[in-house]
Amino acid sequence: MNYTGERAIPWVPEVGRIMDQHVARYAWALQFCRGAEVVDLGCGAGYGTYMLSWVAAKAVGVDVNQGTIDYARERFWAENLYYHIQDLERGPLPAADVFLAFEVLEHLENPRGLMSKLDVCVLWSLPIYNNSTFHKHTYNPVKAEQLGGDIWYQSATGIIVPKERAWFKPVNVLGVRG
């Protein structure tokens, strides 16, 4: 898989500190996933879904791109880990106790539509003020927080704290809903 700037890919030097932020989000999510059936929406390269498989009863990574799923299957696997291709805005989603939507909602035409389908625990994250050509939506903290749930802020170095305890301007907003 070639690095285009759209997906964080381990071992690619251009990813740099962004990879630290991505891994920190998945490490933070582990506390919510212990013993659960977990679906990682927009799983990308698969490293995060693999991390979830360490504590989850079952971890499923879903992505729209066949090449990305192939990359994930080749590099990150475990007995309780599965990957499949799916457009998140079409068709039913796999059953889960916990859904993750890390850095994926900004890529969708209708992120609120996806969120409305998820009636169990949802962990989500959005980049703030990121005008990437790959994004269909740009978020600021207020717009991100409208997705609901307990709000957390992430710093450029990867630190994640509850919003009310943040001493820094966030680069990402995270939420726990349900």
Distance CA 126, CA 79 (A): 30
Q: Locate all alpha helices (DSSP H) within the chain, ordered by sequence.
A: 17-33, 47-53, 66-75, 111-117, 141-145
Residue 92, in any domain of the structure: yes
Residue 65, in any domain of the structure: yes
User: For residue 81, what are the domain limits?
Assistant: 13-177
What's the number of domains the chain is made of? 1
Residue 172, in any domain of the structure: yes
Average pLDDT over residues 90-110: 93
Residue 151, in any domain of the structure: yes
How is residue 54 written in tokens?
A: 């360490």
pLDDT 10s digits, 22-74: 899 999 999 999 999 999 999 999 999 999 999 999 999 999 999 999 999 99
pTM of model > 0.95:
no
Residue 38, in any domain of the structure: yes
Q: Which of 65, 67, 55 is nearest to 26 (CA)?
A: 55
Residue 163, in any domain of the structure: yes
pLDDT 10s digits, 114-126: 999 999 999 999 9
Q: What is the CATH number of the domain that holds 67?
A: 3.40.50.150
